[in-house]
Amino acid sequence: MLFNSPEFIFLFLPLTLFFFFMLGRKGYYQGAIAFLVAASLLFYAWWNPPYLALLFFSIFFNYIVGSALSKRLILSVSPKLLLVLGIAVNLALIGYFKYANFFVDNVRFILGKTFNFNQIILPLAISFFTFQQITYLVDAYRGETQDYSFLEYCLFVTFFPQLIAGPIVHHKQVMPQFANKSIYRFNPEDMTVGVTIFSIGLIKKVLIADTAAVYANPVFNAAASGELFTFYDAWSGALFYTFQLYFDFSGYSEMAIGAARMFGIKLPLNFNSPYKAVNISDFWRRWHITLSNFLRDYLYIPLGGNRKGELRRNLNLIITMLLGGLWHGAGWTFVLWGGLHGVYLCLNHQWRSFRKFLGHDLKKSNWWSRTISCFITFIAVVFGWVLFRADNLESASLIVETMLGVNGIFLSASVVLPDKKLLIILFLFIWLIPNYQQWMEQYKPALNLPVVKTYSNWYSQVWKKLQWQPNQLFGGIIGVLLFIAIKIILNAPESDFLYFNF
């Protein structure tokens, strides 16, 4: 079931909210939790019911191991060995379902032989619910989890707003919120804030991401078939995919945060205007924040982080990003995309070290240097997204070569005729308009919100006066855009979210 589907918007979500609050109002708190778990399982089973068995096994196994690690269950196994075993089983599951096909295809290529192997269907959300439960095991090992029942643990894993594509949450971030009895009573503010954030995400997905896809897909499809196209086409396709991916995944994340807020639950922030980043490290602090934090805390730091010198730090960055790329997809394009970002990060660190050597104060900057840095970072990210989107290395190479002018610089379009005004509008949208957490900051829309800078110039003062308020004006604006988005949903085929593939 998709967040942007009629059955979710008009049936599943309102009915789930109604029965959850009805049970909560009568004081049946455990009943409300049980109903929410059942609804979340139905939400997951809508895609492929047989894979519920895999989800059940994962939940049961990790709950037992977590209980033993937190000493609620006594087992004659050392905690460290138990933690290693728990992580190994989780990685084995994700390795089999996500990478077995990739491994077999590469063995076939190396050996030059063909042999029968049934293709394995990737279970929906396995990357996300597996990583989320690994964080639970590590937190339990560190003594950072409280004593919650199996039913409550099921809710932690399956809570439908964040089940399919994140954000990746820690046990301690959401479960104390469900222990607060006030969330079981309907709260007009939570509902208003939640509906607004959900609507913003839906508008991003339907009106922007899906429109950008119309111009991005023909270029990448042409590259996959070996068709030649122009310099203009290559850059248009890459830029439109850059916008499509951002508005698709940020839209999904906002819909998840908004849906959770309707229940009175705050999920962690997952995006913070990443295309405004002034360097690649800043980009990864802003893009898919919960995954970036996971890779940092559970991979980069255990490898040694930056504690063992520059050479080791650079190696750790490369390893972390290679595995981060592989997490996104079982293909060499994803591995190289991750490796490219690893190189970007190493170059960024070396550049900062060089500037320190020259005596520069890295905490000081001016508007023109930030603008240049932002532009360079954005272009580097665009080239990376070509690898991320391309069907194979050959098509990625063709697009990159054309973008670099290797095949000649021709400005007339041959594959797709995008509206130049649309590109300009999208650029202005991502760089000049505040994001939703800035627009709604006084209502604390999510967890782990960044510190908002003091309003000091005319631009900031203008946007401060235009901040969201639960009034008729803003309700009318959101309502009109939401009406347009829903009308498109009802008259167009369903469009999956891109991160459902990961």
The b-or-e profile of 448-461 (16+ CB within 10 A means b, else e) is: eeeeeeeeeeeeee
Catalytically annotated residue among 170, 171, 288, 328? 328
Q: For residue 328, indicate whether it is catalytic.
A: yes
Instruction: Give dist(CA 264, CA 46) in Å, integer.
Output: 25
User: How much of the chain is helix, strand and coil, in % rounded to 5?
Assistant: 70, 0, 30
Q: Say if CB 156 and CB 148 are below 8 A apart.
A: yes
Q: Say if CB 197 and CB 257 are below 8 A apart.
A: yes
Cα angle value 430/434/440 (rounded, 5°): 140
Q: Say if CB 388 and CB 333 are below 8 A apart.
A: yes
Q: Which residues contact 455 (CB under 8 A, 6 or more apart)?
A: 461, 464
Cα angle value 461/463/466 (rounded, 5°): 115
Instruction: Give dist(CA 89, CA 96) in Å, integer.
Output: 11
DSSP state of 447: B
Instruction: Give dist(CA 101, CA 123) in Å, integer.
Output: 13
Identity at 495, one-letter amino acid code: S
**DSSP, residue by residue, 263-302:** TT-PPBP--S-GGG-SSHHHHHHHSSHHHHHHHIIIIITT
**Secondary element (H or E) of residue 343:** helix 332-357
- Among residues 147, 178, 266, 224, the alpha carbon closest in space to that of 394 is found at 224
Catalytic residues: 328
